Structure formats: structure tokens, C-alpha cells
Amino acid sequence: MNTVRRACATPEGRATLRQGLADHLDNPWPLYVHLMPAGGIPVGEDTPHHALRQAEHPFLLVAALYAVHDAPNPRAGDKPLTVKQPAPAKPWENLGWSLARAARVGMRRETATGLLSHLCELDYEAFMAELPSTISLLRSSNIPVRWPVLLRDSIRYQRWAPDVRIDWARSYTTPAGSKETSK
């Protein structure tokens, strides 16, 4: 996520990433113009050329979501590169963890459970389409999203969706304040 923080350090970079989300990543080349000089898009070197776009999609989506919801605004006088970097996320601070927090601070438990169930029933394409509205719902209620964990899970969801779903369910049902021992 350091690459995304650097790309969002300029008003143009942040605006471009935000616009990428508004465009549903249909025209991603402007995002590359800002992300590549900031550190590139972390995709394995052994990724076949024909599969690059699909491999890069989760990173582009999470980068755009971060730019919309949590990136400091350089136009407002924020100095993005001097803003303290968030503490490293714990592996279990995933969407299940965020939804559990939402249920504890105002969202009805049935709503949070239903949203988690809905996300877990989706295939990869539908999950990626649903992710922006889910993140918007969480962030509008000031529920934290751990961007590196979201990126990790979005990438893993392509191949190991059942494992990601189990991780979310574990995090959702782990009582607040208890330590995660499965990771």
C-alpha cells in the first residue's frame, strides 16, 4: 500500500485513482501513469502476459477504494507522505472483522451477518463488483478497513475463495478483545 500512498501524495494522483473507481476501472491506463512511478503494481514476475490485467485488477480496485475513502487530501493541506503510516494490520483484520465491528457500533447484527453471507456467496467477478459498495457502507460509518488485508483477500479470492470466506467467518465470530490464534 506504500505505492498507493505515494501515488495519492499529489492532487492529480489521488484524483486519478478516485476517478478510476468512478469509471469502474474500465479505462485503467491513467491509474498506471501514477502507480508505476510510485512503485509499480505488485504482480508476480512469472504472471503470463495475457493474465496481467486480471492479476492487477484487485490492486487497482483496492488502490482506488483507498484513494476515495482514506487517502489524505493534498489539496486540503494534508501532507500524505508525512501522515503517520497506519500500524501494520493483523491477518484477521479482514472484512469479517470490519463487519463484526460494525455490528458492535450501530449496524444491526442481522444486517452485518446478511452482508457477510451475501459476500461469501459471490463468485470472484460479483465480489469485485460488490466490494466498492460494501467498503463505502463501512467507511461511511467510520468502520476501519485494513487496506493491506483487503488487498491480500481480494487477490486470494480469485483462487482460494473458500479459504478467504472461512477467514472472514472466523474473524466475524471471534469475540471482541480475544486474541486470534489461528494465524
Confidence of residue 8 (pLDDT cuts 50, 70, 90): very high
Look up residue 114 and give its three cell numbers.
446478511
Each residue's pLDDT tens digit, 52-111: 888 899 999 999 999 999 988 888 776 655 556 666 677 789 999 999 999 999 899 999
Q: What is the mean pLDDT of the chain?
A: 89
DSSP 27: S
Q: Tell if the pTM clears 0.75, that is, is over it.
A: yes
Residue owning grid cell 485513482: 17
The upper half-sphere exposure of residue 169, i.e. CA atoms within 13 Å in the direction of its Cβ, equals 10
Q: How far is CA 155 from the centre of its chain?
A: 10
Average pLDDT over residues 142-167: 95
- Residues 55-86 as b/e (b if ≥16 CB within 10 A, e otherwise) read bbbbbbbbbbbbbbbbbbebeeeeebeeeeee
